[in-house]
């Protein structure tokens, strides 16, 4: 892994250890839980709520996405180094 990519992952892993990250996730989970789909009155509101939930879920799952990308990169490098020998 080159230094730029390693720094990219290190920065995120450092962020995920920060107490503020956990605090942010708790607040976003509360926000997502407070959305009442039954109160949606029309298609426009439904699309707006879907967009909000999509963005909230993307942030709430960001740690998993970065971890999966890191693991995938590690597996690719391991595979390449094994097959080049």
* DSSP-assigned states of every residue in the chain: --HHHHHHHHHHHHHHHSHHHHHHHHHHHHHHHH--GGG--SHHHHHHHHHHHHHHHHHHTHHHHHHHHHHHHHHHHHHHHHHT-
Predicted TM-score (pTM) of the model is 0.80
pLDDT number for residue 78 = 74
CA dist., res. 74 & res. 85, Å (int): 17
pLDDT digits (tens, 9 = 90+) for 4-36: 999 999 999 999 999 999 999 999 999 999 999
């Amino acid at each position: 892994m080159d230094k730029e990519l390693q720094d990219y992952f290190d920065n995120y892993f450092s962020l995920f250890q920060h107490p503020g990250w956990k605090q942010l996730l708790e607040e976003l989970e509360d926000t997502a839980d407070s959305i009442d789909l039954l109160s949606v009155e029309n298609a426009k509101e439904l699309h707006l709520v879907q967009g909000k939930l999509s963005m909230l879920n993307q942030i709430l799952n960001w740690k998993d996405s970065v971890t999966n990308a890191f693991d995938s990169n590690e597996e690719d490098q391991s595979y390449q180094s094994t097959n080049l020998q």
